């Protein structure tokens, strides 16, 4: 990795603590990722991004700030990135996926808080992640109670804007979300000093849609048998898309998709064509949370799709590009974002329908529904998901886990038993 110590020191990072993270990550990445066989050439870019994870992109963001631009750190897929890019800003997803940050979060949060929240708060308070130190503003939401209260703590550190996410999907809820987008536009214009026009918003809608289209191509390739890319690699692509420059993200995902489509034509896969095909559904897996995928794939099964915010929920729906006035574009944004199916909504039956549809599209043999420990929303919803999967004769298992390695062997045993059952 190039030397970024000066940049990190200028950001006020705790360099000693950060060194510990820099030491463990390459080893973990090597064992989990680089040890895989027959990886697509297109993964080289993502490997490079991981090798420079706290260097290259943060340096670009700082350069953007030096040139007068603003950076917005976001925490949920309901935040419309289009608004930020339309005002000449950068939006970067910030959710923490490492156990390394959890203890920092536990200093101020109850221990029975979900690890994603604890890691996100810890990454900022411990000053060990440049992405959390760079933003001029955080943009978060009130999807779950843990997040809502954690943002009040982080608001003491960074200017914070909260988007009020409706929790039902009636027409008036979409209207309410439209009003939230208007408020967000006003905030972003104020912070950046730039006016958002129909032209700039139209361009930003295309920019983010193109990233979504590129991810759709990568995921479509995973429908093939044999599958041309591992679930671990596909997950990494999505994770990096959360904070990479969107035009580059689309370009890289498109060139990866070209390669995957060629592999399909040649009948080339990274797992045998009789490998068990698994869907992982549930809570998001922020970088570097690769635990479950690693367990499943090291047992010989292929993860072929993720029904999660680090999977299909992130890119499946596009914003209508035919909208030409600001009014129409804001409505189109509201309609697109309100199609996302998070367990914070009630009812959330469209998520169950999605899982059944995806199981068919990706020809999955079984579903592993995963829940970050202490996420009541997704764990409660798993009951109804399980019921529907039973009715649809889709083999299903639910697991609850965190970011630690403590339950690794136990999870492995449970997943192994599930896969054995599927192989019979
Ligand atoms: S749209 S899934 S990104 S809220 S796992 S923090 S819900 S206690 S992450 Fe999420 Fe937006 Fe929904 Fe997606 Fe709370 Fe549950 Fe933790 Fe969660």
Choice from 306, 342, 348, 369 to test ligand 1 binding pocket (greatest atom count within 8 A of CB): 342
Mean pLDDT, range 241-258, rounded to an integer: 98
Residue-wise pLDDT for 59-81, tens only, equals: 999 999 999 999 999 999 999 99
Tokens 């029975």 map to which residue?
112
Nearest protein CA to atom 15 of ligand 1, as residue: 375
Q: How far is CA 183 from CA 76, 176, 276, 337, in A?
A: 17, 11, 47, 16
Report, as an integer, the average pLDDT of 355-368. Answer: 98
Q: Does the Cβ of 117 fall within 6 Å of ligand 1?
A: yes
- The pair phi, psi for residue 231, each rounded to 5°, is -65, -35
Of 158, 162, 89, 100, residue with least CA distance to 129 = 100
pLDDT number for residue 2: 73
Q: Would you say residue 1 has pLDDT above 70? A: no
State whether the beta carbon of 76 lies less than 6 angstroms from ligand 1.
yes
Q: For 22-32, how does the pLDDT look when each residue is reduced to its tens digit (9 = 90+)?
A: 999 999 999 99
Nearest CA to ligand 1 atom 11: 76
Determine the pLDDT at residue 74.
Answer: 98
Average pLDDT over residues 76-101: 97
Expressed in angstroms and rounded, the spacing between residue 195 Cα and the centre of ligand 1 is 31
Question: What element of type H or E holds 366?
Answer: strand 366-372
Does residue 378's CB lie within 6 angstroms of at least one atom of ligand 1? yes
Residue 78: CB within 6 Å of ligand 1? Answer: yes
What kind and span of H or E run contains 71? strand 71-74
Q: Which atom of ligand 1 is nearest to the CA of 117?
A: 6
Q: Is 309 in the pocket of ligand 1 (CB under 6 A)?
A: yes
Q: What is the mean pLDDT of the chain?
A: 97
DSSP letter string, 257-272: HHHHHHHHHTT--SS-
Q: State whether the beta carbon of 237 lies less than 6 angstroms from ligand 1.
A: no
The reported pLDDT for the residue numbered 95 is 87
Q: Which atom of ligand 1 is nearest to the CA of 378?
A: 15
Whether the predicted pLDDT of 224 surpasses 90: yes
**For the chain, how are helix, strand and coil distributed in percent, rounded to 5?**
55, 10, 35
- Percent of residues, the chain, with pLDDT higher than 70: 100
Q: At what angle do helices 198-221 and 231-241 cross, to 10 degrees?
A: 170
DSSP per residue, 250-307: HHHHHHHHHHHHHHHHTT--SS-TTS-EEEEEES---TT--HHHHHHHHTT-EEEEEE
Ligand 1 pocket test target in 144, 281, 399 with most atoms within 8 Å of CB: 144
Confidence of residue 424 (pLDDT cuts 50, 70, 90): confident
pLDDT of 157 above 80: yes
What distance in Å separates the CA atoms of residue 312 and residue 354, rounded to the nearest whole number? 9
Q: Rounded to the nearest whole angstrom, what is the distance from the C-alpha of residue 76 to the centroid of ligand 1?
A: 7
What CA–CA distance (Å, rounded) separates 61 from 328? 31
Q: What does the CA dihedral 120, 126, 131, 132 come to, rounded to 10 degrees?
A: 60
Q: How far is the CA of 310 from the centre of ligand 1 (A)?
A: 11
Q: Which two tokens stand for residue 124?
A: 């900022």
Which of 81, 111, 139, 147, when mutated, tests ligand 1's pocket best, judged by the most ligand atoms within 8 Å of its CB?
147
Residue minimizing CA distance to atom 13 of ligand 1: 309
Q: What is the pLDDT of residues 253-312, one digit of tens each?
A: 999 999 999 999 999 999 999 999 999 999 999 999 999 999 999 999 999 999 999 999
Print burial letters for 35-54: b (CB count within 10 Å at least 16), e (below 16): ebeebbebbebbbebbeebb
Which residue's CA is minimally distant from atom 7 of ligand 1? 144
- Of all protein residues, whose CA lies closest to atom 14 belonging to ligand 1? 144
Q: Say if residue 138's pLDDT is above 70.
A: yes
């Amino acid at each position: 990795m190039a030397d970024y110590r000066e940049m990190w020191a200028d950001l006020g990072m705790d360099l000693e603590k950060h060194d510990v993270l820099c030491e463990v990550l390459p080893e973990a990445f090597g064992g989990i990722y680089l040890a895989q066989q027959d990886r697509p050439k297109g993964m080289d870019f993502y490997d490079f991004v991981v090798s420079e994870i706290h260097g290259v992109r943060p340096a670009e963001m700082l350069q953007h700030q030096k040139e007068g631009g603003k950076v917005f750190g976001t925490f949920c897929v309901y935040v419309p990135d289009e608004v930020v890019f339309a005002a000449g800003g950068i939006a970067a997803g910030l959710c923490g996926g490492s156990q390394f940050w959890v203890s920092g979060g536990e200093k101020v949060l109850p221990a029975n808080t979900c690890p994603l929240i604890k890691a996100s708060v810890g990454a900022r308070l411990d000053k060990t992640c440049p992405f959390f130190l760079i933003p001029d503003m955080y943009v978060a939401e009130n999807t779950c109670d843990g997040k809502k209260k954690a943002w009040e703590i982080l608001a003491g550190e960074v200017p914070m804007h909260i988007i009020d996410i409706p929790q039902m999907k009636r027409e008036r809820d979409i209207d309410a979300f439209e009003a939230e987008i208007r408020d967000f536009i006003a905030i972003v214009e104020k912070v950046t000093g730039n006016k958002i026009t129909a032209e700039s918003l139209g361009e930003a809608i295309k920019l983010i849609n193109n990233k979504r289209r590129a991810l759709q191509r990568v995921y479509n390739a995973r429908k093939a048998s044999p599958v041309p890319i591992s679930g671990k690699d596909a997950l990494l692509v999505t994770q990096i898309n959360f904070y990479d420059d969107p035009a580059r993200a689309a370009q890289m995902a498109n060139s990866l998709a070209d390669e995957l489509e060629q592999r399909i034509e040649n009948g080339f896969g990274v797992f045998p064509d009789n490998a068990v095909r698994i869907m992982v559904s549930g809570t998001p897996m922020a970088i570097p949370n690769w635990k479950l995928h690693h367990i499943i794939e090291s047992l010989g099964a292929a993860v072929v799709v993720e029904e999660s915010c680090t999977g299909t929920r992130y890119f499946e729906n596009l914003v209508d590009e035919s909208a030409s006035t600001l009014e129409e574009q804001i409505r189109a944004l509201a309609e697109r974002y309100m199609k996302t199916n998070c367990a914070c909504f009630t009812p959330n039956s469209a998520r169950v329908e999605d899982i059944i549809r995806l199981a068919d599209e990706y020809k999955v043999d079984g579903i592993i529904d995963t829940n970050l420990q202490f996420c009541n929303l997704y764990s409660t919803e798993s009951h109804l998901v399980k019921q529907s999967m039973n009715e649809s004769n889709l083999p299903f298992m639910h697991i609850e886990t965190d970011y630690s390695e403590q339950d690794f062997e136990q999870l492995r045993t449970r997943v192994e038993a599930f896969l054995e059952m599927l192989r019979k």
